């Protein structure tokens, strides 16, 4: 009867009405039926919690089985005057911080080593796959890619076979194919820029040939094996090698240009049959030097040519050694001074004079040569003594190559970039670093003067 009444009382009842109903039901029971007080209270609680899905008799054992994550215990509060507790807390803080930092660094290092090893394994696997495709065999898959026409050329026949590559592209493909073949065979890695330079020179396109000649020249600069490459490029050794290679390229190009001009004007040049740089420069001066400028030139002639233009253009073509014997016939004090300097200049691997000789030439330039009417004489003194680097010599530097060559001749690679930005204005006027030249060409002149 009571069960029916209890079940009927639950019908349509909410949780707020449930507790009073159960209480009235248990009070109305006879005393013989009621258990002791402890069991009665536990039974009432079990019914109430059971409506929420909680098993009260087993809740204690379940709470004991819960496992909580270990956490760092908070440090106990320390009074302002408790020095011992303060020092203990500081010590524990330092230990905890060190442990956390060590854990973080260890995780980062492990993660870095893992990805490095992963990358190395993938690279090794890639090399194995590439090596497998280089060998011939019947067990390899025969993958025939569909031939597509080039977007820049029309189909043509090369060597009896249909090809969509131009002559330039075919030359590139042959060089790259040979390079990859030698690399995969594990031999000595060939010089790719040199091979491309040789291949492009056979095409007959002067623009492409000049481009790869420049690339081949610049790639001869020594590279840094270890360390930061960007930082290595700012060292004086690398900058000096870069300047030397750039000067060599400009000098070689100008020598070819002089030969082209002379052989294009043989009637005016009067080259003669004696080979060498000095006869070539003399014939070149007969073509390009205006007759009205000859009276303004100083210190006479050498080798039947004005002495200072002869020296300048020999330097411009990279043949300072060739002009030494010719200058011996001229006894002018300035020519004798430059002759002695040129002998030391040719013996130097860095294209720099000894400090005492350079200082002497600078003093002569400031006292006598700076106001000279001969522009070639001023330029020769500036080039050899690295003085007055901000003079553009517009009278003789009529092209971009001439301007760059003169600036590279007076660049001082021993000046660090930090010193070039922090030095006084008087020091900056006496020297020119490579960093300053780069900023001058990029920021001040830019593409408008290219």
Strands (E), 305-360: none
Question: Would residue 226 count as lying in a domain?
Answer: no
Strands (E), 166-220: none
- Report the alpha-carbon distance of residue 403 to residue 30 in Å, rounded: 120
In this predicted structure, what is the pLDDT of residue 4? 40
Statement to judge: residues 211 and 178 lie in one domain: yes
The position carrying tokens 């390079």 is 179
Task: Domain of residue 18: give its range.
Answer: 2-65
Element (H, E) at 379: helix 375-385
Q: Are 339 and 324 in contact (CB under 8 A)?
A: yes
Token digits of residue 136: 């011939």
Statement to judge: residues 203 and 338 lie in one domain: no
Statement to judge: residues 294 and 197 lie in one domain: no
Statement to judge: residues 57 and 104 lie in one domain: no
Buried b (16+ CB within 10 A) or exposed e, 429-446: eebbbbbbbeeebeeeee
- Report the alpha-carbon distance of residue 366 to residue 369 in Å, rounded: 6
Question: Would residue 135 count as lying in a domain?
Answer: no
Q: Are 180 and 209 in contact (CB under 8 A)?
A: no
Helix (H, G, I), strand (E, B) or coil at 157: strand
- Nearest to 428, CA basis, from 438, 416, 420: 420
Question: Would residue 244 count as lying in a domain?
Answer: no
- Report the alpha-carbon distance of residue 134 to residue 107 in Å, rounded: 41
* Proportion of the chain in helix, strand, coil states, percent, rounded to 5: 65, 0, 35
**pLDDT digit string (tens) for 78-96?**
566 788 888 899 999 999 9
- Report the alpha-carbon distance of residue 407 to residue 359 in Å, rounded: 19
**What counts of helices (H) and strands (E) characterise the chain?**
21, 2
* Ramachandran angles phi, psi of 156, nearest 5°: -145, 175
Statement to judge: residues 50 and 112 lie in one domain: no
* Ramachandran angles phi, psi of 301, nearest 5°: -125, 170
Statement to judge: residues 338 and 443 lie in one domain: yes
Statement to judge: residues 340 and 284 lie in one domain: yes
Q: Are 302 and 329 in contact (CB under 8 A)?
A: yes
Q: What is the pTM of this model?
A: 0.60
In this predicted structure, what is the pLDDT of residue 268? 84
In this predicted structure, what is the pLDDT of residue 145? 46
User: Which segments of 135-161 does DSSP mark as H helices, in order?
Assistant: none
- Report the alpha-carbon distance of residue 169 to residue 17 in Å, rounded: 92
In this predicted structure, what is the pLDDT of residue 66? 62
**pLDDT digit string (tens) for 148-188?**
544 444 444 444 444 577 888 888 888 898 888 888 887 77
DSSP string, 263-311: HH-HHHH---S--SHHHHHHHHHHHHS-GGGGGG--S-BSSSSBHHHHH
Domain count, the chain: 4
Question: Would residue 140 count as lying in a domain?
Answer: no
419 class by beta-carbon count within 10 Å (0-12 exposed, 13-18 middle, 19+ buried):
middle
* Rounded alpha-carbon distances, angstroms, from residue 371 to 184, 249, 365, 390, 429: 63, 32, 9, 16, 18
Statement to judge: residues 424 and 333 lie in one domain: yes
Positions in the chain whose pLDDT score sits under 70: 1-19, 22-23, 25-80, 134-163, 223-227, 415-429, 447-450
In this predicted structure, what is the pLDDT of residue 378? 92
Question: Would residue 138 count as lying in a domain?
Answer: no
List the beta bridge partners of residue 156.
163
Contacts of 281 (CB under 8 A, 6+ apart): 258, 305, 310, 313, 314, 317
In this predicted structure, what is the pLDDT of residue 5? 43
Token digits of residue 215: 């690339």
In this predicted structure, what is the pLDDT of residue 14? 61
Contacts of 131 (CB under 8 A, 6+ apart): 184
Statement to judge: residues 316 and 216 lie in one domain: no
- Nearest to 278, CA basis, from 299, 309, 252: 309
Statement to judge: residues 191 and 285 lie in one domain: no
Statement to judge: residues 189 and 292 lie in one domain: no
Statement to judge: residues 345 and 428 lie in one domain: yes
Question: Would residue 386 count as lying in a domain?
Answer: yes
Question: Would residue 348 count as lying in a domain?
Answer: yes
Question: Would residue 160 count as lying in a domain?
Answer: no
Token digits of residue 155: 């189909």
- Domain end: 48, 65, 82, which one? 65
């Amino acid at each position: 009867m009571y069960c029916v009444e209890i079940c009927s009382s639950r019908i349509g009842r909410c949780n707020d009405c449930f507790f009073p109903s159960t209480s009235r039901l248990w009070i109305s029971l006879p005393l013989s039926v009621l258990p002791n007080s402890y069991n009665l209270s536990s039974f009432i609680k079990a019914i109430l919690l059971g409506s929420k899905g909680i098993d009260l008799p087993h809740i204690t054992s379940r709470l004991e089985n819960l496992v909580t994550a270990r956490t760092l215990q908070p440090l106990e509060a320390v009074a302002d005057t408790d020095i011992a507790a303060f020092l203990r807390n500081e010590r524990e803080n330092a230990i905890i911080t060190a442990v956390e930092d060590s854990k973080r660094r260890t995780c980062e290092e492990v993660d870095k080593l893992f990805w490095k090893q992963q990358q190395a394994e993938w690279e090794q696997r890639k090399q194995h796959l590439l090596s497998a495709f280089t060998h011939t065999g019947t067990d390899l898959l025969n993958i025939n890619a569909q031939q597509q026409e080039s977007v820049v050329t029309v189909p043509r026949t090369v060597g009896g076979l249909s090809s969509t590559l131009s002559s330039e592209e075919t030359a590139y493909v042959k060089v790259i194919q040979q390079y990859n073949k030698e690399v995969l065979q594990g031999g000595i890695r060939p010089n790719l820029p040199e091979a491309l330079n040789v291949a492009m020179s056979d095409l007959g396109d002067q623009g492409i040939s000049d481009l790869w000649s420049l690339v081949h020249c610049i790639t001869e600069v020594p590279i840094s094996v270890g360390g930061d490459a960007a930082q290595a490029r700012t060292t004086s050794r690398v900058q000096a090698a870069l300047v030397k290679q750039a000067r060599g390229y400009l000098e070689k190009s100008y020598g070819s240009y002089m030969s082209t001009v002379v052989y294009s004007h043989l009637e005016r040049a009067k080259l003669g049959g004696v080979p060498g740089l000095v006869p070539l420069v003399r014939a070149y001066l007969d073509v390009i030097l205006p007759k009205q400028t000859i009276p303004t030139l100083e210190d006479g002639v050498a080798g039947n040519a004005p002495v200072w233009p002869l020296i300048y253009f020999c330097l411009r073509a990279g043949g300072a050694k060739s002009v030494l014997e010719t200058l011996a016939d001229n006894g002018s004090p300035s020519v004798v001074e430059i002759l002695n300097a040129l002998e030391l200049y040719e013996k130097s691997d860095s294209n720099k004079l000894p400090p005492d000789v350079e200082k002497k030439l600078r003093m002569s330039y400031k006292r006598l040569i700076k106001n000279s009417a001969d522009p070639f004489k001023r330029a020769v003194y500036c080039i050899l003594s690295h003085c007055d680097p901000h003079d553009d010599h517009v009278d003789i530097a009529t092209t971009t190559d001439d301007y760059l060559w003169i600036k590279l001749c007076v660049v001082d690679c021993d000046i660090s970039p930090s010193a070039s930005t922090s030095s006084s204005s008087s020091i900056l006027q006496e020297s020119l670093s490579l960093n300053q030249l780069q900023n001058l060409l990029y920021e001040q002149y830019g593409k408008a003067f290219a």
